[in-house]
Amino acid sequence: MNMKRTGTVLFSLMLVAASSCQAAPWDFLSKNGKADTVVEQTEDRHSEAYIKNRVQAVYVDVRKNYPADHGSPPQNAVDLDKAYCSEDWNRMFQLVHKKDAKASVEVSFWYANYYCAVGQDWNALIPQDIQVTLQGDNHATVTFKMGGMDNGMKQVQLAMVYEQGGWRIDNFMAPESGLVDWKGNMREYLAE
């Protein structure tokens, strides 16, 4: 009788220990080290639905940080980049800032806002009609429409990469204009 009871207790303890080793069913998207947006992690991280949710969550945080007057991009854009952009993007971003700091020009490389990728001005930073094209397990292209100041919808495209356990933005593009390919522009600027 005692042996049976001990076996039941041990089995219960093993179940509790095993369940505590599993990952929590939440994916916390951080803002300055704080979890402020929660996306359920019940779906496959490499699914189109998961990536769409990730993009929507990123832009919720972007909207919280951008000024309502549509003026200059926020001073904490670097924090947004650290939270949501790839290691390569952040490395190139720092190199561009170092080059800009040495240059004596009136207009720096960052003449427009890359999170909206529609130019200097923006209207509603709300991605609409999000389309995801997976390219293997670690790359995806996300295309959506977003409002510019002229109230027209502009197409925005994000190259995304799966690293550090999540989907991160590796490039911001505006295919309709043909002029905005931020990472390509950074490469050209650094090569000058």
Structure tokens at 18: 């095993």
Angle 161-38-56 from CA coordinates, rounded to 5°: 55
- Strand, coil or helix: 67: coil
More confident residue, 41 or 12: 41
Distance CA 153, CA 77 (A): 23
Distance CA 183, CA 87 (A): 12
Summary mean pLDDT of the chain: 74
**Residue-level pLDDT at 114:** 80
DSSP 78: H
Q: What is the pLDDT of residues 39-68, one digit of tens each?
A: 445 568 889 999 999 999 999 888 887 766
Range with lowest mean pLDDT among 1-10, 23-32, 130-139 = 23-32
Q: What is the pLDDT of residues 87-101, one digit of tens each?
A: 999 999 899 988 888
pLDDT at 4 over 70: no
For residues 160-175, give the mean pLDDT.
Answer: 92
Q: Edge-to-edge strands of the sheet including 180-181?
A: 128-135, 139-147, 153-163, 166-174, 180-181
In a 13 Å sphere around the CA of 140, the CA atoms on its Cβ side amount to 26
Q: What is the pLDDT of residues 106-153, one digit of tens each?
A: 666 766 678 876 555 566 788 999 999 999 989 999 999 887 655 577
pLDDT at 31 over 80: no
Identity (one letter) of the amino acid at 14? M
Q: What are phi and psi of 53, to 5 degrees?
A: -60, -40
- pTM (2 d.p.): 0.72
- Strand, coil or helix: 79: helix
Distance CA 62, CA 80 (A): 7
**Residue-level pLDDT at 37:** 43
Structure tokens at 55: 């993009």
For residues 70-96, give the mean pLDDT.
Answer: 82
Distance CA 105, CA 38 (A): 42
* Domains of the chain and CATH, by start: 25-191 (3.10.450.50)
Distance CA 72, CA 121 (A): 8
**Residue-level pLDDT at 2:** 52
**Residue-level pLDDT at 52:** 96
Structure tokens at 160: 């995304």
